[in-house]
Amino acid sequence: MIFGTLPSGENVERVELSSGRLRAEVLTYGAIVRSLEVSGVNVVLGLDTLEDYLTRSRYFGAVVGRYGNRIADGRFTLDGVEYRLPVNNDPNSLHGGTAGFDAKVWTIEARGDDSVTLSLTSPDGDQGYPGTLTASVTYTLQDDALRIDYTAESDAPTVVNLTNHSYFNLKGGGDVLDHVVRMDAEHYLPVDEHKIPTGELAPVKGTPFDFTAPHTVGERYDGGYDHCFVLDGGIQVTGGGLTMEVTTTEPGVQFYAGGMLDGVATPFGAFAGLCLETQHFPDSPNQPRFPSTVLRPGERRTSTTTYRFTA
């Protein structure tokens, strides 16, 4: 089903998935999860038209890459060679640059009633990154869960950090400041004034970043979270009588509470949805203490994240 047509004339398709009480819509543009209904309640923020995604998007539901999150000063060094990236979050490169994976049309490789696999080839030099990278993402609805499987391969050394940028609101509307979050994370990454990690893995105990016991989004830190947490286990979010349990093979999660949504550049106001972007750590190519995001020829990077819903 055609969702819209880009100025280039390329069509964007919409794929419908269903399984039990779950329904989802996925777009080939950005591999976007446009909607995810649980018993008729849409729990992710989506836009009405392709034009909205082209002009008003804040990465709603998209796969971001090659490198999700920030790379300091838009540069990194790999095997003694410095690579320069577009700066689109001054002074940093964010979510792959000015034309990252969220702004590409992915190819449908396989589809069924409850799953779809999309692929994308990013050529050598795309947004400054070395190597031709082939990526795929599979969305599967199964057992009251949305499962996301990622793969990536490259013909030359590169860095990669794929994640999905869905905004969740378990009530289906309003804000998420009353959503209760519990996170198995004893440490988080403090950041500087440009939201780049300082390199420290700081204990959450005694700080507003301690979600090892449940807290609402809005009760501390003015809800202004946009930080990476070091995961020791899973995440649980409760709101509107619904609970979402998140598990992942990734070492971290960027918890963003949507504080910069403004109702102007997007149709949604502040805190209309929260993001749980499972991923490797921000700025890892410049932080040798962090888990490596380097991908070399002959290697295959895989990761899996599952969002499971219970009443």
What residue spans of the chain are helical by DSSP H?
50-55
> Which residues share a beta bridge with 18?
23
Q: Which two tokens stand for residue 66?
A: 């090659």
> Measured between alpha carbons, how far is 130 from 139 in angstroms, rounded to an integer?
27
Point out the residues that are catalytic: 165, 277
The two structure tokens encoding residue 98: 């000015």
- Confidence (pLDDT) at 262: 84
Owning domain of residue 10: 2-310
When divided into structural domains, the chain yields a total of 1
CATH number at residue 34: 2.70.98.10
Strand-pair partners of 245: 236, 308
At residue 263, the pLDDT reads 75
Chain-centroid distance of CA 215 in Å reads 22
Could you report the average pLDDT of every consecutive run of 10 residues in the chain (311 residues)?
A: 96 98 98 98 97 92 98 98 97 97 98 98 98 98 97 98 98 97 98 97 98 98 95 98 98 97 84 98 97 98 98 90
In what helix (H) or strand (E) does residue 51 lie, and over which residues does it extend?
helix 50-55
pLDDT digits (tens, 9 = 90+) for 99-148: 999 999 999 999 999 999 999 999 999 999 999 999 999 999 999 999 99
